[in-house]
Amino acid sequence: MPNAHASLTYLALGDSYTIGEGVPAHERWPMQYVAALRKSGEHIADPQIIARTGWTTDELSAAIDTAKAHGELHAGYDLVTLSIGVNNQYRGRDIANYRKEFSALLERAIALARGRHDHVLVLSIPDWGVTPFARSSGRDRAQIARELDAFNAAAEQICTAHDVAWMDITPLTREAGAEPAMLADDGLHPSGAMYARWVELITDTLP
């Protein structure tokens, strides 16, 4: 990841997991990631976040278009993170559609990072099927897991083809994602404690 003495810029793209649905702003994983980078000596600004609960790949792309049209984006960022796809799966969209739209979003993320693929980080989709919300929804949790595995496999393959860092946080959500302390009050989204585990994995894994 970038290392410089000047204040670095960071753009976080995603959905409810990036915006931190149900947790205070400082407990969002991008904010916790910035805090960890600062602790390690990086000079980095708070993240600019383009994310909203419920967004799918096409909705995130449209939001980037809107932000660009309104002059809300920098010419380029030192770090761009991307986490998207859970709502594609939730709404029953097919893998071919996800592959196409995720690939386009990843190319946009690289462009926003001034073409530097090594300054882009992608997080896998958490497995929401382990949560109390999923249990009460009546949906097949094994099917949710299978579909998310397929979506994640497609995204990882695309990241590998573009030489972009891929962070698989899905096992963490399967191991502890049903624990009350790891959940926000809605019984679906992660708590700040779970996001802290994501950030710990990222900082322990990336150089």
Global confidence as pTM: 0.95
Structure tokens that stand for 133 in this block: 């919300």
State which H helix or E strand residue 123 sits in: strand 120-123
What does the pLDDT average to over 188-201?
A: 98
Distance from C-alpha of 12 to C-alpha of 187, rounded to nearest angstrom: 24
Cβ distance 86 to 126 under 8 Å? yes
Phi, psi angle pair for 106, to nearest 5°: -65, -40
Within a domain: residue 116? yes
Residue 32 has pLDDT above 60, yes or no: yes
Answer yes or no: is pLDDT of 207 > 90: no
Phi and psi for 122 in degrees, rounded to 5? Answer: -115, 135
Name the region of 92 (left: φ>0; alpha: ψ -120 to 50; beta: rest). Answer: left
Residue 98 lies in a domain: yes
Number of separate domains in the chain: 1
Q: Does residue 191 form part of some domain?
A: yes
pLDDT of 5 higher than 60: no
Task: Answer left, alpha or beta for residue 115, where phi above 0 means left and psi between -120 and 50 means alpha.
Answer: left
- Within a domain: 3: no
Determine the pLDDT at residue 3: 45
pLDDT band at 6 (very low <50, low <70, confident <90, very high): low
The letter for the amino acid at 94 is D
The answer for 73, left when phi > 0, alpha when psi is -120 to 50, beta otherwise, is beta
Domain containing 156 equals 10-205
Q: Is the residue at 4 inside a domain?
A: no
Are 156 and 168 a contacting pair, CB within 8 Å? yes
pLDDT band at residue 4 using 50, 70 and 90 as cut-offs? very low
2 pLDDT band, cuts 50/70/90, is very low
- Name the DSSP letter for residue 10: E
Exposure on the CB side of residue 117, measured as CA atoms within 13 A: 11
Q: How many CB atoms lie within 10 A of CB 195?
A: 24
DSSP 27-87: GSHHHHHHHHHHHTT--BPPPEEEE-TT--HHHHHHHHHHHHHTT-S-S--SEEEEE--HH
Under 8 Å between Cβ of 51 and 85: no
Residue 176: inside a domain: yes
Q: Per-residue pLDDT tens for 33-51?
A: 999 999 999 999 999 999 9
User: For residue range 52-105, what is the model confidence (pLDDT) as tens digits?
Assistant: 999 999 999 999 999 999 999 998 999 999 999 999 999 999 999 999 999 999
Q: Is 1 part of any domain?
A: no
pLDDT tens digit sequence for 9-26:
999 999 999 999 999 999
Task: Identify the helix (H) or strand (E) that includes residue 167.
Answer: strand 165-167
Question: Is residue 96 in a domain?
Answer: yes
The CATH number covering residue 58 comes to 3.40.50.1110
- pLDDT, tens digit, for every residue of 125-179? 999 999 999 999 989 999 999 999 999 999 999 999 999 999 999 999 999 999 9
